[in-house]
């Protein structure tokens, strides 16, 4: 769908990729494993990250402070920060491509 309307795809973010038990910290792939990676390969799109299903995320948001604000050093914050950084880099690349194409268009217009 995005390709048909020329919307650039930054990548795939897999939500609820792994459940982390609040009692014992056991990690379980309750919705299957590596689905985001497989989808990325199928569509030739990079996996930007896999977000956990963790009650702390909901609790922090219900209290008005996302985990990245509430707990700067948590594993959840690290995951979200890594995904955000990858997205920012992709946006920077897209912006540069747009800038170069715009400059080419202006030059073509000036020369014609």
At residue 20, the pLDDT reads 82
20: which strand partners?
Answer: 27
Q: Order of strands across the sheet with 27-28?
A: 27-28, 12-20, 47-53
Count of structural domains, the chain: 1
CA proximity to 80, closest of 36, 97, 72: 72
Assigned domain for 3 exists: no
At residue 9, the pLDDT reads 87
- Domain coverage including residue 88: 12-107
pLDDT band, very low/low/confident/very high, at 106 (cuts 50, 70, 90): confident
pLDDT band, very low/low/confident/very high, at 42 (cuts 50, 70, 90): very high
Assigned domain for 91 exists: yes
At residue 7, the pLDDT reads 83
Look at the pTM and tell me if it is higher than 0.85.
no
Query: In terms of pLDDT, which residue wins out, 59 or 26?
Result: 59
Assigned domain for 20 exists: yes
Q: Which residue has the tokens 């897209």?
A: 94
């Amino acid at each position: 769908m995005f390709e048909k309307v020329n919307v650039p795809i930054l990548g795939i973010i897999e939500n609820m990729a792994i459940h982390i038990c609040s009692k014992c910290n056991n990690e379980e792939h309750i919705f299957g494993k590596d689905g985001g990676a497989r989808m990325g390969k199928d569509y030739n799109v990079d996996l930007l990250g896999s977000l956990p299903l963790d009650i702390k995320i909901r609790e922090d948001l219900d209290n008005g402070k996302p985990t990245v604000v509430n707990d700067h050093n948590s594993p959840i914050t690290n995951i979200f920060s890594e995904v955000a950084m990858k997205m920012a880099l992709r946006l920077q690349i897209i912006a540069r491509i747009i800038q170069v194409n715009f400059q080419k268009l202006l030059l073509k217009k000036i020369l014609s």
